[in-house]
């Protein structure tokens, strides 16, 4: 079974408190998403393979271990775009590979409308990013697409997950670890996470 990692750090609670507050304006909301994103990137990338690189310092020659794997960042459109910058800040050579989905408001199931993975060079590692892991449907379909494309090492990174979504995702993809800032209580009848933070995409993009 895949592992669930939830941030355990005092700063995470500070950022989450601001994100959950319905009075937080979009600019501040985006800042907090970015702060939490940086923390999540550091945690989720701990097991990247490295190789030694020769470096000439002002004093002498030395070497440092640098990332040896090609990295793909896979935001689930549109809310996943809010977590792209933290990845690019820390791993600027990553490729951004977008997958577009929307939620059918009647069935609560994801519908894919954009997928051009076949046009890109395969990556060694893919990070699927979406602020909310609610039912798990979009994340499951995204990982399905990445595996079909040929990616061998995949992780899911998000801000908040519901137990129902985490369970569904782990059952569908027991080899894919999940990194979250928080796991909340449950989904309501409309498949929104409770207590959650509302619609992450609407709050990021002020729509």
- Confidence tier at 108 by pLDDT (50, 70, 90): low
Both tokens of 56, joined, read: 């000439």
- Confidence tier at 109 by pLDDT (50, 70, 90): confident
The domains found in the chain, sorted by start residue, are: 4-49+67-205 (3.40.50.2020)
Average pLDDT estimate for 7-19: 96
What is the spatial distance between Cα 156 and Cα 74, in angstroms, rounded to a whole number? 9
Residues 6 or more apart whose CB falls under 8 angstroms from that of 180 comprise 4, 5, 6, 7, 40, 133, 157, 158, 159, 160, 161, 166
- Confidence tier at 1 by pLDDT (50, 70, 90): confident
Within 13 A of 79's CA, how many CA atoms are on the CB side?
24
pLDDT at 107: 74
The percent of residues above 70 in pLDDT, for the chain, comes to 99
The three-class DSSP label of residue 99 is strand
pLDDT at 75: 94
> Mean of the per-residue pLDDT values for the chain?
94
Both tokens of 180, joined, read: 């979250």
pLDDT at 206: 92
Within 13 A of 130's CA, how many CA atoms are on the CB side?
29
- Per-residue pLDDT at 67 exceeds 70: yes
pLDDT at 158: 97
- Per-residue pLDDT at 113 exceeds 90: no
- Per-residue pLDDT at 20 exceeds 80: yes
Asked if the bond preceding 78 is cis, omega within 30° of 0, the reply is yes
């Amino acid at each position: 079974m895949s592992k669930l990692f939830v941030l355990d750090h005092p700063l995470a609670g500070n950022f989450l408190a601001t994100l959950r507050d319905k009075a937080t304006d979009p600019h501040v909301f985006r800042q907090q998403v970015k702060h939490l994103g940086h923390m999540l990137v550091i945690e989720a990338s701990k097991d990247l393979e490295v190789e030694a690189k020769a470096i000439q310092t002002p004093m002498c020659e030395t070497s440092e271990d640098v990332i040896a794997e090609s990295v793909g960042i896979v935001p689930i459109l549109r809310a996943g775009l809010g977590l792209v910058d933290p990845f690019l800040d820390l791993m600027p050579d990553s490729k951004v590979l977008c997958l577009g989905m929307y939620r059918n408001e009647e069935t609560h199931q994801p519908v894919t409308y954009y997928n051009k993975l076949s046009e890109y060079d395969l990556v060694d590692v893919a990070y699927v990013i979406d602020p909310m892991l609610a039912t798990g449907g979009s994340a499951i379909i995204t990982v399905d697409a990445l595996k079909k494309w040929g990616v061998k090492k995949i992780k899911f990174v998000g801000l908040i997950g519901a137990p129902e979504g985490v369970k569904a995702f782990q059952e569908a993809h027991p080899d894919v670890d999940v990194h979250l800032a928080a796991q909340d209580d449950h989904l309501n009848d409309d498949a929104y996470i409770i207590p959650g933070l509302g619609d992450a995409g609407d709050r990021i993009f002020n729509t």
